[in-house]
Amino acid sequence: MKIIACIKQVPDSEAKVKAEGGKVSWGDAPLVINPFDEYAVEGALQQKEATSGTVTALCIGPESAREALKHALAMGADEAILVSDPALNELDTAGAARVLAAAIQKIGADMVVFGRQTLDNGAGITPAQTARILGWPMLGLAGQIKAQDGAVTVERVIEEGRQTVSAKLPAVVSVVQSIGEPRYPSFMGIRKASKANIPVWSLGDLGVSAPEPVVRRTELMNPPAQQTSIEIISGESPAEIAEKLAEKILAEKVL
């Protein structure tokens, strides 16, 4: 089975991200593979192993995003492709989905695996938009994937419980953490990744023009400062502390 894992590069989750001069700044924090996408690579590798398939990691981004693809290669992906083009600087989610769909069609796939969302924009809608453009079924929030005889069954982890859903392949799947902890890159994997040749495709290579963004940012702001004054509740016994704390909470009228 031919599997594509779609990944993105984002600032590390511990980064102190803030709005600065109309731009998002993350200081000197490193750019890393989107943490949710590590689960996508893990899910894709599990399918590769179950079906003797191959995994291609696919990423839209600047040249620096090679590092995220190398992480996927080091985890065990067979090949990686970077879609990079100066015309893609102002991309909204639908635009990203159109570019990904074109790349997926060029590569060819039985299954495309996404992470649930990215840590930066966080809309979580690119997987479904990509599926819609491809006309493929969308199986979102999978905690478990089983592919067999041209069909796929997933167990979805939804707010209300667990739901088993099936579809014919090819299909788009997004995964959640229940898929399993992403494997650590092996020493051999890291060596392989450092030598890998990662092709860069432009929009011309994909035969598409730059999608016109429909959604645009007009302003960037830092959230209002948080109140920081804390009152420590103490007392002679847990019962006394609890009594005082309960009084304080009730007085705030939040219940």
Partner 1 sequence: MKTLVYIDHFKGEVQPASWEALGLAKSLGTASAVIFGSGLDAIAKAAFEHGADDVFVADDPALADYRAEPYAASLSSLASTQSPDLILFPTTARTRELAAMAAIDLNTGVLTDITALESNGDQLVATRPIYEGKVLEKTVCSGKPVMATIRPRAFPKPEPDASRSGTPTKVEAKAEALTKVEGYSASESAVNLGDAGVIVSGGRGVSNNPSLQPPAGMDEKQAELWRAQQGFALITELASVLGGAVGASRAAVDAGYIPYSHQVGQTGKVVTPDLYIACGISGAIQHLVGMRNAKLVVAINKDSDAPIFKQARYGVVGDLFQIVPALTEAFRKKLGK
Scanning residues 50 to 89, which ones bind partner 1 (CB under 8 A)? none
Per CB under 8 A, 198 contacts partner 1: no
Per CB under 8 A, 124 contacts partner 1: yes
Per CB under 8 A, 30 contacts partner 1: no
What distance in Å separates the CA atoms of residue 5 and residue 131, rounded to the nearest whole number? 14
Closer residue to partner 1 in complex, CB, 195/239? 239
167's tokens: 């579809």
Q: At what angle do helices 66-75 and 187-195 cross, to 10 degrees?
A: 140
CA dihedral (113, 116, 117, 123) positive or negative: positive
Q: Looking at 9, 46, 84, 93, which residue binds partner 1 (CB under 8 A)?
A: 93
Closer residue to partner 1 in complex, CB, 165/190? 165
What burial letters (b/e) apply to 96-129, b meaning 16+ CB within 10 Å?
bbbbbbbbbeeeebbbbbbbbbbbebeebebbbb
Find the binding residues for partner 1 in span 34-53 (CB under 8 A).
35-36
In whole angstroms, the minimum distance from the beta carbon of 194 to partner 1 comes to: 28
Per CB under 8 A, 209 contacts partner 1: no
In whole angstroms, the minimum distance from the beta carbon of 206 to partner 1 comes to: 18
